């Protein structure tokens, strides 16, 4: 039980779409031509703001919704038309969905009873899994008597005790307080590693996504925007949306002046910046957005250098200091880790900025996206 199960399967979604009737807008797409490939044993997270289609996608994997187009496969098996009870999944709901009329033991035992296990097997399995989630001794409690974290563990235990082929989480931590959330996400992560069950996890919290996942899929308006590891998304966003949604970011308008070899020159912030690698398909003269993470900017106490700026505000946050500086008319966020203890750069000070190597990502400035994310 505590070790990984043998029958690992991948989950493949091909061109899945789902429309809903909307009261005002008529028919709208909740999910539009989404393709995903979750590898056996992988922990994949669907990340995005509310309404982006991530939960609908998850529910289609679970079988709670039937796609209007496209297919869902577990391994080689086509699951598209099957109801949830024939998919061999474990599902964890945001509101836990514990059976209020059953004890903790019976909640966890439910799936085993459905599968016709003997009482002895059930007693053993339930005992093991409750111990695993740290709830030994809670067997006879009812959900009303448990704290939020305890309810979440019961929900988790209930989902994994049946050793499902696929484990699905729908914002499982959003009803918990901040501290518990951090603790639980670690536990979920560790448990998944130990069991090796292919997992799809839905959240709107990018930090949570980064903490638990092998791979993250960012969704927006029913479509997949980008998929990759946390590092990919953070350092190499493929769109302004992803750049802004994953972590904090400065978006600076610029224009390509020269694109040759692996370096491009871009006019921005009143100067010329060299970026590597050169963005593909951008001809000189094309408008772009430069993506610069706040921690990739260094502040130098000198008025020399190409990027002159003025400190507008300074916020001391313990391990780090946050500045807002104005450079060529644009307000930029800068995060400095307080390595030089106690050094104070007061508001109003004239400074110069330095961008770290490879710190700048160049995205084409499409009008539509500017408009949408303004």
Partner 1 sequence: MVMGLRNDPAVAIAVIVLWALLALFVVYPLVMLLGRVLTDHGTFTTAGLMAVLTDRHQIRAFWNSLLLAVLVGFAGTVLGFLFAFTAARERLPRELITVIDAVVLLPLVSPPFTTAIAMIFSFGPRGLITYDLLGLKGATVYGLTSTLASEVMTYFPIAYLTLRPLLAAIDSNVEGMALSLGASRWRVFRTVTLPLTVPGLANAFLLLFAASLADFATPLILAGNNFPVLPTQAFLQITGLFDLRGGAALSFVLLFPALLVFVLQRYWVSRRYYVTVTGKGAGQTPFDSISPDARAALLAICALVALVIVYFYALLLYASIVVALGANHTLTLQHYRTIFTDGLKAIRDTLIIAAFAMPLGGLYGILLGYLVTKKSFLGRRSMELVSMINYALPGTIVGIAYLIAFNDPPIELAGTALIIIACYIFRYGPTGIRATVALLQQIDKSLEEASQGLGAGSATTFRRVTLPLIMPAFFAGLGVVFIRSMTAISATIFLVSISWTLITVKILENITELSLGPAAAFSVLVVVIVFVVIAIIGRVLHRFRAPGAVSMTNLLGG
Binding positions for partner 1, rule: CB under 8 A = 59, 62-65, 83-91, 93, 95, 97-101, 110-111, 114-115, 158, 162, 168
Q: What are phi and psi of 56, to 5 degrees?
A: -60, -40
Nearer to partner 1, 163 or 250 (CB): 163
Residue 30 C-beta: closest distance to partner 1, Å: 12
With contact defined as beta carbons under 8 Å apart, do 245 and 224 qualify? Answer: no
Nearer to partner 1, 95 or 141 (CB): 95
Nearer to partner 1, 20 or 316 (CB): 20
Residue 85 C-beta: closest distance to partner 1, Å: 5
Residue 98 C-beta: closest distance to partner 1, Å: 7
Residue 164 C-beta: closest distance to partner 1, Å: 9
Residue 64 C-beta: closest distance to partner 1, Å: 5
Nearer to partner 1, 115 or 326 (CB): 115
Nearer to partner 1, 107 or 250 (CB): 107
Give the tokens for residue 178. 């901040």
Distance CA 221, CA 24 (A): 17
DSSP letters of 106-167? Answer: HHHHHHHHHTT--HHHHHHHHHHHHHHTT-TT-TT-BGGGS-HHHHHHHHHHHHHTT--SEE
With contact defined as beta carbons under 8 Å apart, do 86 and 163 qualify? Answer: no
Residue 256 C-beta: closest distance to partner 1, Å: 48
Residue 83 C-beta: closest distance to partner 1, Å: 7
Nearer to partner 1, 103 or 238 (CB): 103
The CB-based long-range contact list for 212-217 (8 Å cut-off, 24+ gap) reads 212/43, 212/45, 212/185, 212/188, 213/43, 213/44, 213/45, 214/42, 214/43, 214/44, 215/42, 215/43, 215/44, 215/45, 216/44, 216/45, 216/47, 217/36, 217/44, 217/45, 217/46, 217/47
C-alpha separations of 119 from 125, 154, 256 in Å: 10, 19, 70
Distance CA 353, CA 19 (A): 48
Beta-bridge mates of residue 265:
258, 274
Nearer to partner 1, 198 or 361 (CB): 198
């Amino acid at each position: 039980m505590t070790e990984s199960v043998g029958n690992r399967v991948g989950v493949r979604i091909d061109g899945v779409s789902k429309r809903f009737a909307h009261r005002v807008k008529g028919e709208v797409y909740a999910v539009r031509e989404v393709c995903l490939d979750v590898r056996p044993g992988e922990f994949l997270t669907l990340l995005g703001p509310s309404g982006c289609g991530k939960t609908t996608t998850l529910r289609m994997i679970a079988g709670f919704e039937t796609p209007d187009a496209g297919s869902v496969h577990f391994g080689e098996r086509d699951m598209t038309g099957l109801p949830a009870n024939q998919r061999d999944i474990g599902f964890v709901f945001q509101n836990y969905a514990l059976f209020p009329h059953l004890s903790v033991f019976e909640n966890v035992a439910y799936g085993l009873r459905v599968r016709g296990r003997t009482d002895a097997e059930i007693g053993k399995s339930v005992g093991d899994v409750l111990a695993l989630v740290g709830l030994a001794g809670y067997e006879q409690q009812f959900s009303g008597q448990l704290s939020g974290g305890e309810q979440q563990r019961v929900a988790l235990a209930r989902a994994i005790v049946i050793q499902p082929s696929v484990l699905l989480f729908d914002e499982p931590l959003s009803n918990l307080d901040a501290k518990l959330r951090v603790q639980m996400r670690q536990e979920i992560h560790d448990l998944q590693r130990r069991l090796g069950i292919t997992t799809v996890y839905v959240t709107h919290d990018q930090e949570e996504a980064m903490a638990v996942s092998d791979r993250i899929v960012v969704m927006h308006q029913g479509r997949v925007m980008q998929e990759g590891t946390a590092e990919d998304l953070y350092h190499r966003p493929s769109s302004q949306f992803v750049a802004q949604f994953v972590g904090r970011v400065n978006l600076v308008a610029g224009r390509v002046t020269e694109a040759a070899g692996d370096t491009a020159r871009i006019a921005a912030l009143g100067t010329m910046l060299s970026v590597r690698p050169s963005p593909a398909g951008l001809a000189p003269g094309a408008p772009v957005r430069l993506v610069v993470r706040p921690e990739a900017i260094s502040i130098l106490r000198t008025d020399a250098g190409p990027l002159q700026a003025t400190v507008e505000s300074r916020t001391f946050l313990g391990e780090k200091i946050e500045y807002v500086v104005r450079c060529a008319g644009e307000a930029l966020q800068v995060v400095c880790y307080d390595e030089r203890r106690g050094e104070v750069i007061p508001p109003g000070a004239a400074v110069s900025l330095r961008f770290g190597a490879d710190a700048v990502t160049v995205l084409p400035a499409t009008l539509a996206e500017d408009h949408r994310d303004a």
